[in-house]
Chain A
Amino acid sequence: MKRPATLLAVALLLLSFALIGYRVIWLKYPIFPAAPQKVWRLSMDARVTGGEKETTVMVGLPFTDRGQTVAEERIRSGTLPFNLLREGLNQIGVWSGVTSPEGEVIGYSATIQVRPSHSLKAKASTFEPFPLNVQEEDQALAKRLVEKWDPLPPVDRLRRIAAAMRGIWGSPPPDGQDVREWSAFLEKHSQLDAVLLLLRAAGLPARVVEGLQLAESVTDSTLTWVEVWTGQEWDCLRPEKGEIHQKPVPLLPLTTNGLSATRVINGELSNVRWTLRREIINQWRMQFDRIMRSNRFLDRWSLFRLPPEFQRTFRILILVPIGALMICFLRNIIGFPTFGVFLPVLMALAFRNTGLAYGLGIFWGVVLFGYVVRRQIDKLRLLLVPRLSVILTLVILCIIFFALLGNKLGLREFMAVGLLPFVILTMTIERFFVIVEEAGAREALWTAAGSAGVAVITYKILQLEPFQLTFFVYPELLFVIAAIQVLLGRNTGYRLLELFRFRGFWRSP
C-alpha cells in the first residue's frame, strides 16, 4: 500500500528536478533566481542636432558575451529610428534620420553584470599592421628599442613597454641617440600611437578599446586604452599612464579595434553624458529579457509570458499549494485543529490586502459578532439554508461597514476587506456556533485560534518575495510540493499532539 505512493512521490520529484535541471543547465537559468547580485546600471544620453540632411549617430553599446551579461536595455530615440548593427567585434546602436530644428534627445540604458573571471578571455586577435601614420624609420627605431626584450615572455615584454612609456628603459639602457629620436617621435605623435608602435615592434598583438571606467560616475567623455594579447588573455594597458591594469579590470569596453565610441555623420552630438551606477538586483532580472525573447519550449511556456496584470495573480496562486501543505503538516503531523482545509489559506490571501493585524482583527471581530447574532437567530427557528443566508448577509454588511469606516478614517486596510472570503466566514460562524454548542467554547476558541495561526503562517510564507519569485520561475517546484503532500498522505506516524493525548501510556512500557 505504501509503495505506490512512494513511487509517485519519487516520480514527481524526478520530474521536477529534471525540468529544473534542464532549465539550469541548458537554458542557463539561475539556480537561485532571487539571490541578490551586484550589477552596473549604464545609461547614456545626448542631444543630436543636425541640418536638413539625414543625420546618423553611431554609439558603441555593450553586449552580452563571455565576460558580461547585458539586460534590460532601453532605447530613447525621440523621432529618430533606431537600429542595432554588428560591426566587427562591436555592437553599434544607430540612430538616423532628419532631426527636428531644436534637436533630438537620444538615450540608452542597460543593466550589466560583469563576470570578472571570464573577462577578456577571448581568442587571440590577428596581428595588427603598424599604425598607418608611422614612418618607416620610426618603425625601425621602435624595433631597435625593444629588440633586447625579444627573448622575454609576452607578459614581461608588455611590462617593459609599459615602463618605457613612463620613461623607464631599464638596464642596459638603449643607445642615447635612439632615446633622443624617440622623444622627438613622442612630440609629434600621441601616446597611443607610440605604445601601439612599440607593441607592434615587440610582436605583441594589440587593439585599441574605447569605453568607460567601471565606477559610480557621471562623465561626458570616454576612455581609451589598449588591450594586448599575452598568449592567454588580453591585458589592459593605459597608454597615457603606462600602466597595466590588475585583474579584475575596472573597465567597461564600448568599442574595440579603434572605432570611436560615438560617431556622428551630418550633425553634432552635444551634452553627452555617461552614467554608471551600482545596483543590487536579483539574479532573475538579468535573465528576464533573454527568456522573453527565447524560442525554447519552456521559455515560451514560462509564466513570464503572461500579461503583467495576470502575473501578479499567479505569483500568489502558485504559493497557495504551499499553504495547503502547511495545513497538511499542522493537521497530520502536529494534530492541530482548524476550521476546514481551505479557510486558513483563503484567510492568508485576504491578509495580503488587509495586512496581518487588521486582517486578524477583522476576522475575530466578524466571527465573534456573527456568533452573538447567530445565538439570537437560533431562537427564531429559521431553516438551515435561510439561516445561513441571513448570516451571509450579515457578513456582507459587516464588510461594507468596515469599508465605509475605513473610508472615513482613511484606513486602506479596512477598505480591502472586500477580499475576505465571505462564504468561508459565514460557514465559520456556523461551525463556530455548532462547536460551542456541542463541545464547549474552549474547543471552539481553540479551533478558531488554530485556523488563525495557520492563516498567519501561510500568510508569512506567501509574503516571502524570494519564494514567490523562485516558484514563478520554476513552476515545476509544485511537483515537489505535491510529492511532499503525497508522502504526508501516507504518513502513519503518531501526531505530535497525540503523543500528549496518549500520555497515559508513557510510563508503562
Chain B
Amino acid sequence: MILKAVRWLREVGVLGMNRRNTEYIMRFNPRSFFPLVDDKLKTKQLAKAHQIPTPPLYHVIEHHGDIRDLGKLMSDHQEFVVKPARGTGGSGIILVSNHTEEGFTKQNGEVIPLKDLAYHISDILSGIYSLEGLEDRAFIEALVHPDTVFDAITYLGVPDIRIIVYRGVPVMSMVRLPTRASDGKANLHRGAIGVGIDMGEGTTLKGVHRSQIVTHHPDTNKPVTGMQVPHWESMLLIAARTGDMTGLEYLGVDLVIDRERGPLLLELNARPGLQIQLANQAGLLRRFELIDNAPPEIFSTPEIRVAWALDTFSARTLN
C-alpha cells in the first residue's frame, strides 16, 4: 500500500517536503540571500530598484514610539493594509477598507478602534508574527483592488497568483482564492482554494481546497475552471526576473492584479509550499527535471525563459 503510493507519486514526479528542503532549498537558495525575501520591506526596495511594480508604500513603523502618531499618519488614508515585514503565512496582516471616526473597518466588516490597531502594530514590532520571534518592523501600504475577473469566485479578501520559479524559469502556478474559512486571506493552510493554471494559456484548471480536488468555490458555488488570468505573460516575466533580482533559484512569487496598476509583486517566498502540485494535478519534480535537462541557451534572458516555459509547460505539450 505504502510502496504503491510512493510509486504513484514518483511516476507523477511529485516533490516531497524532505527532497524540497535538502535538494532544492538548501542547494539553490543560499542562506545569505534569505533576508531579501524574508523581509517584505527589503523585497519591496529590491523590486523598486529593478522596476518591478509593488503596492505603494505609505509608512514604515520601526519603533514603539512611532505608534503614538498612528492616528495622524493614517488620517489621509481611507484604506490601507498593515503588514509585519517578516511575517509568515499571512499572519499579522490586517486589511482596512474604511476609516471613520469610530475606527477602522476591516475587510470582514468588523470595526476596530485606533488603540486596537496600535496594539496590533506593537505586537508586530515585538516580533510575535516574525519568523524567529525577532524584533520586527510594521509597514502600511496601499490596499489592492483586485481585478474583477475573480470576483465571482472570491469571498472577501484579495486573490493572488503564486508562481513557482526554478533557476529563473516559471514552472508552475496557481490562483489562490480566499474563502469564508480563510478569513479573506489567500493562504492555503488557512482554507483558501488553490486553482491550478495552464502555464501555456494562462487559463485556470481545477482547484484544491484542504487537500480535496474542487471545481467550484465553496462559498460562491461558481466554477473555478476555464477562466483566463489577465496579464498572464507579463506576470510570468516578473516572476522570471525575481530570480536574477534575489540570487535565489527556487522561489514562490506572489503577485496580485490591481484593477488600475496591473500585476504587482506582493512578496517572495524562499520556502514555497507544495500544495500547488495538487492544484495543478502535476508534480514539480518532473518539471524541474525538464528544466535541468534544457539546453543552456534558454537561460540567457527572462524573456527567453518565459517563452520556453510557455511552450514546455503548457497543458498541450505536457499531455
Tell me the A residues contacting B by CB distance below 8 Å. Answer: 1, 332, 335, 381, 383-385, 434, 438-439, 489-496, 498-499, 501-509
Q: In the docked arrangement, what's the CA distance between A1 and B26, Å?
A: 10
B281:A506 contact, CB within 8 angstroms = no
Q: Beta-carbon contacts of B1-29 to A below 8 Å, as 1s and 0s? A: 01001111101101011110011000100
Q: Report which of B5, B19, B91, B122 forms a contact with A506, defined as CB distance below 8 A.
A: B5
In the complex, residue of chain B having the shortest beta-carbon distance to the beta carbon of A501: B211
Closest 8 CB pairs of A and B: A384-B126, A492-B19, A494-B16, A381-B119, A499-B5, A509-B11, A505-B12, A504-B278
A502 to chain B: which residues have CB within 8 Å? 9, 14, 277-278
Q: In the docked arrangement, what's the CA distance between A434 and B281, Å?
A: 32
B27:A1 contact, CB within 8 angstroms = yes
Q: Report which of B16, B17, B19, B281 forms a contact with A504, defined as CB distance below 8 A.
A: B281
Given A384-B123, A506-B8, the answer on whether A494 and B213 have CB atoms closer than 8 Å is no
For residue A498, give the distance in angstroms from its CB to the closest CB of chain B.
5
Q: A381-B122, A438-B190, A491-B22 are in contact. List 5 more A-B contacts (CB 8 A).
A: A434-B91, A490-B22, A499-B9, A502-B278, A508-B8
* CB-defined A-B contacts under 8 Å, sample of 17: A332-B18, A384-B123, A384-B126, A384-B127, A384-B128, A434-B128, A438-B89, A492-B16, A495-B18, A498-B17, A499-B6, A499-B9, A502-B9, A504-B211, A504-B212, A505-B278, A505-B283
Is B189 part of the contact surface with A, judged by Cβ < 8 Å?
yes
Q: In the docked arrangement, what's the CA distance between A258 and B16, Å?
A: 79
For residue B137, give the distance in angstroms from its CB to the closest CB of chain A.
14
Q: In the docked arrangement, what's the CA distance between A503 and B283, Å?
A: 13
Q: Beta-carbon contacts of B92-127 to A below 8 Å, as 1s and 0s? A: 000000000000000000000001100100110011
B128:A493 contact, CB within 8 angstroms = no
Tell me the B residues contacting A by CB distance below 8 Å. Answer: 2, 5-9, 11-12, 14, 16-19, 22-23, 27, 64, 89, 91, 115-116, 119, 122-123, 126-128, 189-190, 208, 211-213, 277-278, 281, 283
B213 to chain A: which residues have CB within 8 Å? 504
A507 to chain B: which residues have CB within 8 Å? 8
Report how many A-B pairs have Cβ atoms within 8 Å. Answer: 85
* Main SS class of interface, B: helix
In the complex, residue of chain B having the shortest beta-carbon distance to the beta carbon of A495: B17
In the complex, residue of chain A having the shortest beta-carbon distance to the beta carbon of B185: A438
A509 to chain B: which residues have CB within 8 Å? 7-8, 11-12
B16:A505 contact, CB within 8 angstroms = no
In the complex, residue of chain A having the shortest beta-carbon distance to the beta carbon of B133: A384
B91:A438 contact, CB within 8 angstroms = yes
For residue B78, give the distance in angstroms from its CB to the closest CB of chain A.
25
For residue A3, give the distance in angstroms from its CB to the closest CB of chain B.
13
B122:A383 contact, CB within 8 angstroms = yes
B8 to chain A: which residues have CB within 8 Å? 505-509
A504:B208 contact, CB within 8 angstroms = yes
B277 to chain A: which residues have CB within 8 Å? 502, 505
For residue A439, give the distance in angstroms from its CB to the closest CB of chain B.
7
A1:B23 contact, CB within 8 angstroms = yes
Q: In the docked arrangement, what's the CA distance between A502 and B277, Å?
A: 9
A493:B27 contact, CB within 8 angstroms = no
In the complex, residue of chain B having the shortest beta-carbon distance to the beta carbon of A333: B18
B6 to chain A: which residues have CB within 8 Å? 493-494, 499
For residue A155, give the distance in angstroms from its CB to the closest CB of chain B.
63
